[in-house]
Amino acid sequence: MVLLASVQFGESAKVYFNTAPGTLTGAILIDTITNADGSVTIPAIYQTGFIDITAGAANILLESATVSTPDSGSAVALLGIALAGIEGVRRAFRARKA
């Protein structure tokens, strides 16, 4: 979700999706925000690329951006492998003492 606040009278912000960074060539317009506070929900099909926000009329000022990225599970798998390896080393040391 993209949340834009304080879009003033006469201003608008356009939210685009694109597969290439830094260009609007080939970008797909997702939505336009023209009121004081607005939000755009990014459809699932557009969550694997780049989101561009531009001024549609007058100007806009980006103050901050917060982005969440889901973990693909590889970190959890690596943690499991590391814990299994530590347990194997622990058992090897224990077997030497016995």
Please state the separation of Cα 72 from the chain's center in Å. 13
Helix (H, G, I), strand (E, B) or coil at 13: strand
Tens-digit pLDDT profile for residues 32-86: 988 777 888 889 898 888 999 888 887 777 777 777 766 677 878 888 899 999 9
Res 25: pLDDT: 92
Res 27: pLDDT: 95
Sign of the CA dihedral running 67, 68, 72, 73: positive
Res 70: pLDDT: 65
Res 83: pLDDT: 93
Res 79: pLDDT: 87
